[in-house]
Amino acid sequence: MVRESSAVKKVPVRTIPVVNPATEETVGEIPDQSPADIARAVARARKAWDPWRKNPAHERARMLEEVARRIKDRARNLARLLTLEGGKPLRENVDEMGWSASCFEYYAGLIRGERGRVIPSIEPSQLNFVVHEPYGVIAAIVPWNYPILLMAWKLSPALAAGNTVVLKPAEQTPLSALEFRAIFDCLPRGVVEIVTGRGESAGEALVRHPDVSLVAFTGSLETGRRIARLCSDSVKKTHLELGGKDAFVVCEDSDLDVAAKAVAWAAFLNAGQVCTSTERVYVHSSVHEKFLERLAEFSRTLRVGDGLDPKTDVGPMIGDAYRRKVENHVAEAIKRGANVLCGGRRPKTHTRGYFYEPTILSNVDHSMAVMREETFGPVCPVMAYKTFDGALALVNDSPYGLGANLYTHDARKIKRFFEEVQAGTIWINDPLTDNDAGPFGGFKATGGGRELGEEGLREFQQAKHVHWDFEQQAKPWWYPYAPTAKNYDYGEPAKARAKK
Ligand code: NAD
Which domains are delineated in the chain? 15-242+452-463 (3.40.605.10), 250-434 (3.40.309.10), 470-499 (no CATH)
Residue located nearest, by CA, to atom 8 of ligand 1: 170
The best mutation among 145, 204, 318, 325 to test binding of ligand 1, ranked by most ligand atoms within 8 Å of the C-beta, falls on: 145
Q: What pLDDT shows up at residue 199?
A: 98
DSSP string, 426-470: EEESSTT---TTS-EE-EETT-S-EESHHHHHHTTEEEEEEEEES
Ligand 1 atom closest to Cα of 451?
Answer: 40
**Catalytic position from the list 275, 373, 380, 451:** 275
**60 CB less than 6 Å from ligand 1?**
no
Phi, psi of 284 (to 5 degrees): -60, 140
Residue 114 contacts by C-beta under 8 Å, 6 or more apart in sequence? Answer: 57, 132, 160, 457
Q: Are 78 and 179 in contact (CB under 8 A)?
A: yes
Q: What pLDDT shows up at residue 353?
A: 98
Q: What pLDDT shows up at residue 485?
A: 64
Q: What pLDDT shows up at residue 488?
A: 55
| Ligand 1 centroid distance, CA of 418 (Å) | 28
**219 CB less than 6 Å from ligand 1?**
yes
Active site residue 241: yes
How many whole angstroms separate alpha carbon 297 and alpha carbon 281? 16
**239 CB less than 6 Å from ligand 1?**
no
| Ligand 1 centroid distance, CA of 240 (Å) | 10
| Ligand 1 centroid distance, CA of 143 (Å) | 5
**22 CB less than 6 Å from ligand 1?**
no
How many whole angstroms separate alpha carbon 431 and alpha carbon 464? 38
Please identify every stretch of the chain with a pLDDT value under 50, giving residue numbers as ranges. Answer: 1-7, 494, 496-500
Could you count the other beta carbons within 10 Å of the beta carbon of residue 472? 6
**204 CB less than 6 Å from ligand 1?**
yes
Q: Which of 58, 31, 77, 112 is CA-nearest to residue 182?
A: 77
DSSP string, 295-358: HHHHHHTPPB--TTSTT-SB---S-HHHHHHHHHHHHHHHHTT-EEEE--S--TT-SSS-----
| Ligand 1 centroid distance, CA of 419 (Å) | 29
**203 CB less than 6 Å from ligand 1?**
yes
Helix, strand, or coil (residue 122): coil
DSSP string, 136-185: SEEEEE--SSSHHHHHHHHHHHHHHTT-EEEEE--TTSHHHHHTHHHHGG
Ligand 1 atom closest to Cα of 440?
Answer: 40
**402 CB less than 6 Å from ligand 1?**
yes
Characterise 134 by phi-psi region: left (phi > 0), alpha (psi -120 to 50), beta (else). Answer: beta
**273 CB less than 6 Å from ligand 1?**
no
Residue type, 406: L
The best mutation among 275, 323, 398 to test binding of ligand 1, ranked by most ligand atoms within 8 Å of the C-beta, falls on: 275
Q: What Rg, from alpha-carbon coordinates, does the chain have?
A: 27
| Ligand 1 centroid distance, CA of 5 (Å) | 44
Active site residue 114: no
| Ligand 1 centroid distance, CA of 424 (Å) | 19
Q: What pLDDT shows up at residue 476?
A: 87
| Ligand 1 centroid distance, CA of 91 (Å) | 24
Q: What pLDDT shows up at residue 495?
A: 52
| Ligand 1 centroid distance, CA of 46 (Å) | 25
- pTM value is 0.94
Ligand 1 atom closest to Cα of 275?
Answer: 34
**218 CB less than 6 Å from ligand 1?**
yes
Ligand 1 atom closest to Cα of 442?
Answer: 41
Ligand 1 atom closest to Cα of 222?
Answer: 2
Phi, psi of 161 (to 5 degrees): -75, -10
Residue located nearest, by CA, to atom 9 of ligand 1: 170
The best mutation among 33, 38, 141 to test binding of ligand 1, ranked by most ligand atoms within 8 Å of the C-beta, falls on: 141
